[in-house]
Structure formats: C-alpha cells, structure tokens
Amino acid sequence: MDAWSRRKFFLTTLAGSLAAGARNLLGGQAPAAQAAPQGTRPLIISSANGLNALTLGMGLLKRGLDTLEAVVSTVNVVEDDPNDNSVGYGGLPNEDGDVELDASVMHGPTRRAGSVGSIRHIKNPSKIAKLVMERTDHLMLVGPGALRFAEAHGFERINLLTEDSRRRWLAWKETMSDRDSWGPGLSDPEWKEKITGLLPSHWSEEQKAAELAYIRELILHPPTGTINCCAVNEKGDISGTTTTSGLAWKLAGRVGDSPIIGAGLFVDNEVGAAGSTGRGEENIKICGAHTIVEMMRKGMSPTDACLEACKRVAWSYNNDKARLRKFNISFYALNKSGFHGGGVLWGTPSRSGRRPSYAVHDGVEAKLVPLAPYFETAAS
Ligand code: ASP
C-alpha cells in the first residue's frame, strides 16, 4: 500500500471498521468503482493519492495549457499537502531525519526530460525537474547540486520535516534497537514505553492511541509512496511526472525509481505514457515505464502492458511468492487515443475492503478505478 493511503486508510480503517465488519458479515466487498469511459481526450490519470487534484489538472488541459504544466500543477497540490507523508512537504525522512525528494518530468511534444534525485529543503521537486529540463543542458541533478540549482532559480530553502513526520521518525529511531542511547534511559520510570513520551501531552487518550497504533504500523512496514501523473490533451500531446519522498527511513542518498527516466516515468508522444509507485528498486531493474510504453507501441492495451511489467517484476524473483509478498508495486498508463489502465503486483484489499486503485479524470469527473491485480492477494 502506498504511504499516502497508508495513513488515510489507517485512519479510515479505525473509523470505518464497523462498516467494514458489516460488509464482511454480509459477505461483500467494498462497492467496485465504475470503469471510466475509455478513448476520451483530454484525459489525466494519477496514482490514487492524486484524486482530489485531478480536477485542477483537467481544468488546465481544457483551457489549452501545455500537458506538462497540467501534470506538474496537479502533483504540486499533493507535494504541498503536509498530510500526505509520501511526497514533498511532510514526506517521511531518511534514517538521519532528513527529507530527501526525487522527481522527474517528461514532455512528449519536444521529447525532453528532466529530473532531480535526493534533493533536500525544496517543497516541489517536480518544478525543479522541469527547470532542469528547461534551463540546463543536463537531464538529472542530484543532492547539494540540485539544491543549489533550485536556489539559483529563486526557490526558497525550507524545513520539509513537519512536526508529525519528526515525531514518527524519532519513534522509529528510538525503537530500532535497545543497544543504543536513543530513547528514555534506564533510570527513567518510563524507559520501556519508548514512543509514548513523544506524544504531545495535551492530546486526548483517543488521539494518542490512534497515533501510537499508526506509528507502530509505520515502524513495522516502512511505507513507500509517490504520485505519478500523466495526461494527454485534446490534440494528442502527452506529458508525465513522478514525484516522491521515497521509502521512509531509507539510507541517506538512496534514490528510487521516480527520477529515473524509463523506470518511474516514460512518455512517447506517438504512443503514450506510463509511471509507477511502490518499491522502486524492483521497477528500476525492469525499466517499468519504458517497458509499458514499448508494449503499448506493439498494440497492447494500457492495462495489459502494466500487467506485463508486473510479470517481469515477479520474474525477477522466479515468481517466488514468499519474497514477492514482501512488497508491492503499481503501474499506470495511458495511450495517445485516451485509453488508460493500471496494474498492481498484489491486489490485496485494504483492511477497509478497498481494492488498489488509480485516479482518472476523463473530462466529466474524477474517480478511482481498480488496478488489475497480477496476483489476487498476498494473504494466501
Ligand atoms: N517508487 C518510490 C520509490 O521507490 C516509492 C513509492 O512509490 O512508494 O522511491
């Protein structure tokens, strides 16, 4: 499950467990989302966390703005959101407590691309990736060089670590080992209750319990999370972007698939676009987004092409489900004619019964559409 949804699903799960229980008693799944009409332009799609921002992107496409403007403006909404802990401001940090962001953009009509890796202190890495494309003769800038480049273009250096993310990182740090000096010392009456003392004392017991449970989940399953967004306009021009804070608690300097052109994102204006969220290490090995676009070039539907990428990920582990079960990865694609689709390695529903999905705005409304699962459920 992506990190954005991890928090929201988690809270939804707590709040909605009764409703979910009732559905299960009745033997039913959560109601399936309606399939979006296919073959319409303009069209904009994203990972599920982009749902609420797609209306903005569609509005820009309808007003005739460039497709890259539309997708970057769309993901900026999610990058700016402190409550989305998988992207931009509020993203969960690396093991040192530093938020390091990755992003890429690709502009179909001019066949150009730009990206940044491990950039710190800049809220909207997708904007910097676009600037790398527009204002340099390079394609990718990383680390301190990327930050200096952003500052040279007037971007403000800010602290990306929100209070929530800092507390959760400290909780992870204190729980990592009982052989280091992080956390309450032996002489502290609360020395065994490592996380509790980090919670604001003015919170209600209910708030504390929910946060404790959420933090424990983050520690057990360090989340990944990203937003990928691709669009095709009325005349068939295509662009895409992928932006992320990557894997929580990662090693400093770890770069995932999001800024890697051909892995986290690929666009060919004659064919279509694809992107990915989930465990980037697996995607880089199979050049997922490029593979999907090449499969669509050969005539595959976006969904089948995404499932082909899942198949290659599974093949990396000889289809060994015991290992594959340890992670998940999703792919999203659209083609030049305005058809879209997506695939996910594991279709395991969330605890509230929701199946993995992606977001689509087909010009009429923004909605979630189920991803086609490669394996039905990781539970068996
Ligand atoms: N793909 C991203 C990465 O590996 C993380 C994610 O999408 O969840 O950095």
Between 191 and 124, the more confident residue is 124
**96 lies in the same domain as 125:** yes
Note whether residue 19 is domain-resident. Answer: no
Note whether residue 88 is domain-resident. Answer: yes
Selection from 250, 224, 264 nearest residue 104 by Cα: 264
For the chain, the domain total comes to: 2
Pocket test for ligand 1, best of 251, 276, 279, 313 (most atoms within 8 A of CB): 279
Instruction: Determine whether the shortest distance from the Cβ of 258 to ligand 1 is under 6 A.
Output: yes
Element (H, E) at 178: none
Instruction: Determine whether the shortest distance from the Cβ of 247 to ligand 1 is under 6 A.
Output: yes
Note whether residue 263 is domain-resident. Answer: yes
Q: For 17-46, what is the HEC assignment?
A: HHHHHHHHHCCCCCCCCCCCCCCCCCEEEE
Dump pLDDT digits (tens) for 196-222: 888 998 999 999 999 988 888 888 887
Pocket test for ligand 1, best of 276, 277, 285 (most atoms within 8 A of CB): 277
**227 lies in the same domain as 90:** yes
Domain span at 60: 43-161+222-375
* 163-169 contact pairs (CB < 8 A, 24+): 164/82, 164/85, 164/90, 165/85, 165/90, 165/91, 165/92, 165/93, 165/99, 166/93, 166/97, 167/198, 167/199, 167/215, 168/85, 168/92, 168/214, 168/215, 168/218, 169/92, 169/93, 169/97, 169/249
CATH number where 77 lies: 3.60.20.30
**209 lies in the same domain as 62:** no
Instruction: Determine whether the shortest distance from the Cβ of 356 to ligand 1 is under 6 A.
Output: no
129 within 8 A of 242, measured Cβ to Cβ: no
Is residue 67 flagged as an active site residue?
Answer: no
Instruction: Determine whether the shortest distance from the Cβ of 259 to ligand 1 is under 6 A.
Output: no
Note whether residue 274 is domain-resident. Answer: yes
Query: What is the CA(363)–ligand 1 centre distance, in A?
Result: 28
**251 lies in the same domain as 291:** yes
Instruction: Determine whether the shortest distance from the Cβ of 256 to ligand 1 is under 6 A.
Output: yes
Pocket test for ligand 1, best of 2, 221, 244, 261 (most atoms within 8 A of CB): 244
**312 lies in the same domain as 231:** yes
**59 lies in the same domain as 130:** yes
Dump pLDDT digits (tens) for 18-63: 233 332 333 233 334 445 469 999 999 999 999 999 999 999 999 9
Between 223 and 343, the more confident residue is 343
Between 114 and 34, the more confident residue is 114
Residue type, 353: G
Dump pLDDT digits (tens) for 270-285: 999 999 999 999 999 9
Q: What is the pTM of this model?
A: 0.87
**192 lies in the same domain as 276:** no
Residue 262 has pLDDT above 70, yes or no: yes
